[in-house]
Amino acid sequence: MSAPLKIAVAGLGTVGAGLVKLLASQAALLEARCGRRLVVTAVAARDRHKQRDIDISKFAWFDDPVEMARSADADAVVELIGGADGPAKALAEAAFARKRHVVTANKAMLAHHGAALAAAAERAGVTLGYEAAVAGGIPIVKALREGLAGNRIQRVYGILNGTCNYILTVMRESGRSFADVLADAQKMGYAEADPSLDVDGVDTAHKLAVLASLAFGTAVDFDAVSVAGIRNVSPMDLEYAGELGFRIKLLAIGRRTAKGIEQRVHPCMIPAETALARVDGVFNAVMVDGDFAGNTVYVGRGAGQNPTASAVASDLVDLARGARSPAFGVPAAKLAKLEAAPMAEHRGRYYIRLMVRDQPGVIADVSAALRDERVSMESMLQRGRSETKAVPVVLTTHETVEAAMLRALDRIGRLDSVIEPPCMIRIEEL
Amino acid sequence: MSAPLKIAVAGLGTVGAGLVKLLASQAALLEARCGRRLVVTAVAARDRHKQRDIDISKFAWFDDPVEMARSADADAVVELIGGADGPAKALAEAAFARKRHVVTANKAMLAHHGAALAAAAERAGVTLGYEAAVAGGIPIVKALREGLAGNRIQRVYGILNGTCNYILTVMRESGRSFADVLADAQKMGYAEADPSLDVDGVDTAHKLAVLASLAFGTAVDFDAVSVAGIRNVSPMDLEYAGELGFRIKLLAIGRRTAKGIEQRVHPCMIPAETALARVDGVFNAVMVDGDFAGNTVYVGRGAGQNPTASAVASDLVDLARGARSPAFGVPAAKLAKLEAAPMAEHRGRYYIRLMVRDQPGVIADVSAALRDERVSMESMLQRGRSETKAVPVVLTTHETVEAAMLRALDRIGRLDSVIEPPCMIRIEEL
């Protein structure tokens, strides 16, 4: 039996407490699986005396997580503080400086500093583990880095934010507005008091930047992600989506194209009969297209105390077993610079909803704008009629270039008869 | 850069040829990912001069795979011959004797000798890799052994045989008989000339025995798997399933129960709206219930040249990177003896179809038999009426004990008015 793996845990919030509980309740199982014990030796959090449902009296206490990373009796430091910079990053750097492994659930930090941290880990000869940073309990990092390591990945995409998926699911089922459903989700603890990281797509984009690096062997490049959230999705669009045979999901899509790597996060219309369309509520789903494995799908709980603790534990088990892989699949020095495919050159189909004055000639004006940009209409719906109120006109296009679509929409938006900014949702072929 | 990982490949059929192609076409990618090259040094197959679409002239040739395992210049031997015993097993043993890693796609061998082979690998200080043995391109072995290593697994279940799933899918869509659809599947290469391994559930049972060992930390015990195939599923049952809101799938189910580990393979009625019910055609799907991760789902191509080669490659990448885990999650000596839960004590709901003479009193006789065994009926359907021909009576039960169900069916089968052996399909709660 080897010496125990000594673990210092920074951050005792939901996930940190979950991890401490997991390591206690699965101690025998983990010892059998690793051939050694996994023991928490030290913890750091903001308030030592906060009421917690875990007993921390046996662990060395540190007020300062960075100091803990430096001087605790530990082989690995688990970072569960969060935030792209600040103590989380300082802690990781301090751990690497002392040749300690780092396991983190911090997608923001990885999205902004992933390649640099991977390089620092390699210089120190230790590991940067982050299974918990993407898709919670789903072992998708391991699947990409190891399980699919024989594949050139063409595309990785999915639903990576349970809060948005939950809100869109409830909006569709209830017909209620975004603001209304968000307020309820906040009350129930499914959304944060400040929901913007989630609903504006930023959290999803952090995760996509990490997955894309792993999938394509490129340095994490958060700035190259095109991001739009779900604030502007209206019940009306969800209803039209249903009529047209679609569901609306906030998707993260990373894709190799002839023009470079596409990384985008935005609401998508996807065919209602696809597996992804049926992933509802707080679940996450990731799909990967590999050139040998084909399309593989991974579904599970994307957040929460226990699923996230499970992911952290899997990284710790790898450390305890001595299994080592480069953080992003190849050594940091071999990560290519990500050549970003410009969104303006994205090709796809589009759903457009206009709110118009119901008067003769509107459709002719809209059609002319599309024609002039060579955007080909696939379908058009004008249901309601009203002499006084705006009525919706919904259309879908055949495949076209985004730049042309945007130019046409700009012209359409300036028509007198169009009285709200047009709503555009990309239709995604899966 | 470390020395190359030298690989000897035994068996150059579909998968073997696929692996040789993968290692050639992904050579640069694999070298970047592993920090060393993965090179085939030797091959063995039945006929050296067979026409192949791969060039084997640069590899050392062996007529005898066992001799290759002994004397080729190789770090790892890939076994793609098949068969529970014979050359496959001899090859693995020869490789271990020479302290060479073994990577195999051979579920039959693992189902019968998995624990002994894992022990032999450990004694030799080498690895037994078998990602390709279960669910083709889906990295489910890695997910269970590593990604979910922080979990006590309660249940692992899914669709593990693409041939059966394809046949059931086509039967449902077309209303055609099993024999008819099987014959077509054989013509198209989706089913073997001798289909029994697939359609009788044996292949699925091999895979389940392996997954259960991994999930529950028990020694592989194929004999403890209760197996029934799909030969007796009729178009009539598929149609009734649809009416009742179910789909029929051949499922593999491994589950912890108070009475021990349940391992069973049989056609199941599952709710039509569940994710598993929608996995059609040649796809595989595996679901895992972990106590921390919750339910996670893995879907992909369960067979075929490229997906299987992808799985073999992932094991080779682990070897090249030096990543090591015990074959079945814990050291072979720690694998518990599997205590099998007796099928007679299985509790569940049942679908029963009887072919009866349409005469007064039949339902009363059937009901009495059920009542005497305390089996509670949930629904009953008697559609057709005929004075001359047998008509179907379909019923579903509330949860009951299998032994009671079988006693009731025995009595029902002996009724004069019941003119065929009753058809029983278990209803599975997912």
DSSP-assigned letter for residue B198: H
pLDDT band of B348, cuts 50, 70, 90: very high
Q: What angle do CA B247, B289, A167 make, to 5 degrees?
A: 80
Helices (H), B354-398: 362-372
Those residues whose C-beta lies under 8 Å from the C-beta of residue A211, and which sit 6 or more positions away, are A134, A140, A144, A156, A160, A252, A254, A286
A22 closest CB neighbour out of B139, B150, B334:
B150
Say whether residue B143 is in contact with chain A using an 8 A CB cutoff: yes
**Torsion-angle region of B297 (φ positive above 0: left; ψ -120 to 50: alpha; else: beta):** beta
Say yes or no for a CB contact (<8 Å) between B150 and A26. Answer: yes
Say whether residue B300 is in contact with chain A using an 8 A CB cutoff: yes
Residue the block writes with tokens 């770090």: B75
**Which value, in Å, is the radius of gyration of the alpha carbons in chain A?**
24
- DSSP-derived 3-state class of residue B64: coil
Class of domain A140-303 as given by CATH: alpha beta
Residue A303 structure tokens: 């957040």
- DSSP-derived 3-state class of residue B11: coil
Over chain A, what HEC string results? CCCCEEEEEECCCHHHHHHHHHHHHCHHHHHHHHCCCEEEEEEECCCCCCCCCCCCCCCEEECCHHHHHHHCCCCEEEECCCCCCHHHHHHHHHHHHCCCEEEECCHHHHHHHHHHHHHHHHHHCCCEECHHHCCCCCCHHHHHHHHCCCCCEEEEEEECCHHHHHHHHHHHHHCCCHHHHHHHHHHCCCCCCCCHHHHCCHHHHHHHHHHHHHHHCECCCHHHCEECCCCCCCHHHHHHHHHCCEEEEEEEEEEEECCEEEEEEEEEEEECCCCHHHCCCCEEEEEEEECCCEEEEEEEECCCHHHHHHHHHHHHHHHHHCCCCCCCCCCHHHCECCCECCHHHCEEEEEEEEEECCCCCHHHHHHHHHHHCCCCEEEEEECCCCCCCCEEEEEEECCEEHHHHHHHHHHHHCCCCECCCCEEEEECCC
Residue B197, class by beta-carbon neighbours within 10 Å (0-12 exposed, 13-18 middle, 19+ buried)?
middle
What would the pLDDT profile of A295-318 be if each residue is shown by its tens digit? 999 999 999 999 999 999 999 999
**A39-69: burial string, b at 16+ Cβ within 10 Å, e else:** bbbbbbbeeeeeeeebebeebbebeebbebb
Long-range contacts of A275-280 (CB under 8 A, 24+ apart): A275/B275, A275/B278, A275/B299, A276/A158, A276/A159, A276/A249, A276/A251, A276/A430, A277/A246, A277/A247, A277/A249, A278/B275, A278/B278, A279/A159, A279/A165, A279/A249, A280/A165, A280/A169
Residue B333: the pLDDT is: 95
By CA distance, what is A308's nearest residue in B?
B293
| Distances B17 to A84, B48, B139 between C-alpha atoms, Å | 46, 13, 20
CATH number for the region B5-133 comes to 3.40.50.720
**Which residues 21-60 of A have a C-beta within 8 angstroms of B?**
22, 26, 29-30, 32-33, 35
Residue A246: the pLDDT is: 97
* Single-letter amino acid, residue B415: L
Residue A296: the pLDDT is: 97
Class of domain B140-302 as given by CATH: alpha beta
Q: Give me the phi and psi of B168, to 5 degrees please.
A: -65, -40
By CA distance, what is B297's nearest residue in A?
A299
Residue the block writes with tokens 């792209």: A84
Residue A186, class by beta-carbon neighbours within 10 Å (0-12 exposed, 13-18 middle, 19+ buried)?
middle
Residue the block writes with tokens 């802690």: A91
Active-site residue B207, yes or no?
Answer: yes
Say whether residue A151 is in contact with chain B using an 8 A CB cutoff: yes
Residue A1: the pLDDT is: 58
Residue A313 structure tokens: 């534990």
Residue the block writes with tokens 């004397």: B71
Assess whether pLDDT exceeds 80 at residue B384: no
CB atoms within 10 A of CB A223: 12
- Give the CA count within 13 Å in the CB-facing half-sphere of A284: 31
Of B218, B183, B246, nearest in space to B341 by CA? B218
pLDDT band of B1, cuts 50, 70, 90: low
Say whether residue B324 is in contact with chain A using an 8 A CB cutoff: yes
DSSP string, B233-263: --HHHHHHHHHTTEEEEEEEEEEEETTEEEE
Mean pLDDT of the B288-304 span: 97
Q: What is d(CA B326, CA B218) in angstroms, rounded to the nearest whole number?
A: 13
Beta-bridge partner residues of A103: A78, A129
Residue from B207, B259, B334, B337 carrying the catalytic annotation: B207
Say yes or no for a CB contact (<8 Å) between A33 and B149. Answer: yes
Residue A289 structure tokens: 């297209």
Assess whether pLDDT exceeds 80 at residue B198: yes
Residue A75: the pLDDT is: 98
| Lowest-confidence pick of A219-223, A411-415, B189-193, B386-390 | B386-390
Contact between B366 and B246 (Cβ < 8 Å):
no
Residue A202 structure tokens: 């930023």
**Mutate: best of A78, A127, A146, partner B, most B CBs <10 A:** A146
Say whether residue B307 is in contact with chain A using an 8 A CB cutoff: yes
Say yes or no for a CB contact (<8 Å) between A296 and B137. Answer: yes
B329 closest CB neighbour out of A33, A293, A297:
A33
Which residues in chain B are contacts of A131 at CB distance < 8 A?
147
Residues of chain A falling short of pLDDT 70: 1
Beta-bridge partner residues of B263: B254
Q: How do the domains of chain B map onto residue ranges?
A: 5-133, 140-302, 344-427
Say yes or no for a CB contact (<8 Å) between B317 and A146. Answer: yes
Residue A161: the pLDDT is: 97
Residue B253 structure tokens: 């189910």
Residue from A6, A107, A142, A207 carrying the catalytic annotation: A207
**CA A302 from centroid of its chain's CA atoms:** 9
* Single-letter amino acid, residue A155: R
* Single-letter amino acid, residue A325: S
**Which residues 119-138 of A have a C-beta within 8 angstroms of B?**
131, 136-138
Q: What is d(CA B149, CA B267) in angstroms, rounded to the nearest whole number?
A: 30
Residue B313: the pLDDT is: 98
- The H-or-E segment that residue B356 falls in is strand B347-356
Say whether residue B162 is in contact with chain A using an 8 A CB cutoff: no
CATH topology of domain B344-427: Alpha-Beta Plaits (3.30.70)
pLDDT band of B172, cuts 50, 70, 90: very high
Q: What is d(CA B78, CA B66) in angstroms, rounded to the nearest whole number?
A: 11
Q: What ipTM did this prediction achieve?
A: 0.96
Say yes or no for a CB contact (<8 Å) between A298 and B293. Answer: no
| pTM exceeds 0.90, yes or no | yes
CB atoms within 10 A of CB A173: 12
Q: What angle do CA A49, A53, A55 make, to 5 degrees?
A: 65
Mean pLDDT of the B64-89 span: 97
Which residues in chain B are contacts of A105 at CB distance < 8 A?
none
For chain B, the average pLDDT equals 96
pLDDT band of B386, cuts 50, 70, 90: confident
By CA distance, what is A15's nearest residue in B?
B292
| Distances B275 to A163, A233, A258, B159, B238 between C-alpha atoms, Å | 21, 26, 34, 11, 18
Helices (H), B65-201: 65-71, 86-97, 107-124, 140-142, 162-174, 178-187, 196-199
